[in-house]
Amino acid sequence: MYQLGKLNSEKKGHYHIILQSIFRHFSHVCIVLIFISVSLSCAQSKEKNEIDQRPNIVLIVADDLGFGDIGCYGGEIETPNIDALASNGIRFSSFHTAPMCAPTRAMLLSGNDNHIAGMGGQGLVTEVFGYEGKLTDRIVTIPQLLRDAGYHTYMAGKWHLGIEPNDNPHRKGFEHSFVLLEGAGNHYTNQSALNNGISSYTEDGEPTRWKDGNYSTNYYTDKLIEYIGRYKADDQPFFAFAAYTSPHWPLQVDEKYWKKYSGLYNDGYEKLRERRLNSLKKAGIIPQNAILPQLHEQIKPWDSLSEVEKMKEARKMELYAGMVDNLDDNIGRLITYLKEIGEFENTLFVFISDNGAAHRDFINAENYSSLREYYNDDYENMGKENSYISYGPQWAEAGSAPFRYFKDYATEGGINTTMIISGAKVTRKNNIHTGFLSLLDLAPTFYDISGATYPEKYQDKEIYPLRGRSLLPYISGKTDVIHAPDYVFALEHYGNAMLRKGNWKITNFKRPFELENFALYNLSNDIGEQIDLKNTQKEKYEELLMEWAKFSEEVKIQIPAPSSK
């Protein structure tokens, strides 16, 4: 400007015109640049908001929970937090799992058959296809794909899918995890519940020890809240797997939970079984014409027990009820925390049991006599950290009512379990779905909700396609049907086998495993599997056996030696 001041007026005017032109063009450029910048910023903000709006997913698995235990299924155990989820969502009366813990977990996390996933025989580790005893590279897990899609992934509780470092949840997609590697643990200490040794725990893949005095369900909830809290400010959705070990044996819980049920079960397991049948009908979970099947042959009539035996048996069920009560308390803690941080409304909750009620009583089994070196089952000690109580087949029959048998079996009592879906994306409220579905349907549901893509290859390995179907169209109210009437579902574990097509089912649990031992049932009017129709419905029987042959060949079923685990 100093140089400009020395010029004559004519030249000054000329330069003023030039500068004004430059400034005008510069202003236009600035405006354009600002517009582009704002547009890009808005586009990025919109994209971020779309990502942020994807729901969190909380998958809650109870261990060995009975079908009619919880309040919203008609049970007498107090479960107000689970019931609240149900009142704002959907209860399922025909949800199916595998008959034992590990194959269920393999199917759940992979969306595939337990043999494809590598868990054809719980406790069996081989190099044979389907019986590797760990998750194989034939599948990809839910946490792996959700993490790739931008989700945080957390887990606390029971793993039961391999004990080697490469099999750890830290290598299977979980960003943070605190897990019990084996199938059962003491709920208060590091003492093993499967032998006279120490239970194996890891956190984020590194070995760790249980801090004595913690209670399993409380501590697993603490861990999940801790993990969620670490990244709550980054607006990234999360997948949290609450793999609780409650109410799995040994039955241990603080007095304040079980004492409220004192005396409630003094009339025995047969009476409880009858009450459960009626309460399930009243809740609308089972048909009004359902009847109880015959009791398992192992069960002694209640009236044949001594007064001392009755007293101890009633205490078993009180302890069990207390564990379920505590489980509900902890689910309430998790819900409260999510409300406090503003994530409750944008969270999908799925609550299931991993199989039917459990009948095993290891401390009294000959192969597990070493457990008696640590555990004491005196009546006064029941429920404490050094007591080892199982409620056995007698209470398991009540827990599995109105179905036949319990855990281990491919009868409905072993595989037809509780499931509730509630929260984000669920438009149906206080709804009961009576149609068939299985845990194979959960993986495609989570991928559908999260926007994750299921690949044909993962980490350069070809993987098997998903076997289930997304539930999103149903839970969002867009359709009333989940599976077609001719949908086929089958499974096998240690010779306990079943195949279902529509309402028709073949079941086989006799040893040795022979095809002629399959029985045929029509579940539309016989959910207790009492009337074998294979001799009167021969065409239907042969049709389902042909489906079994296809399934058996597809997943390469073999019949390995039975395991004691």
Residue numbers annotated as active site: 101, 160
R_g (Cα) of the chain, nearest Å: 29
Q: Which residue's entry shows tokens 């003491």?
A: 186
| Residues forming a β-bridge with 520 | 506
CB 113 within 8 A of CB 125: no
Instruction: Please report the DSSP string for 160-228 in residue order.
Output: -S--SGGGSGGGTT-SEEEEE-SS-B-SSSSBBSSSSSB--EEETTEEE---TT--HHHHHHHHHHHHH
Distance of alpha carbon 60 from its chain centroid, rounded? 5
The three-class DSSP label of residue 292 is coil
- Prior bond of 247 cis (ω within 30°): yes
Closest CA to 274 of 391, 398, 395: 398
DSSP 8-state symbol, 528? T
Q: For residues 190-210, b (16+ Cβ closer than 10 Å) or e, as one string?
A: bbbbbeeeebbbbeeeeeeeb
- Alpha-carbon distance of 149 to 51, in angstroms, equals 10
What residues contact residue 35 under an 8 Å CB cut-off, 6+ apart?
none
Sorted by sequence, the CB contacts under 8 Å of residue 432 that are 6+ apart come out as 90, 91, 92, 93, 284, 285
Two tokens, residue 303: 């009236």
| 401 close to 68: Cβ distance less than 8 angstroms | yes
Token reading at 348: 């999908």
Task: Note whether 433 and 103 are within 8 A (CB).
Answer: no
For residue 531, give the 3-state DSSP assignment.
coil
Element spanning 501, H or E? strand 496-501
Listed residue (309, 261, 333) closest to 77, CA to CA: 261
* 354 neighbors 101 (Cβ within 8 angstroms): yes
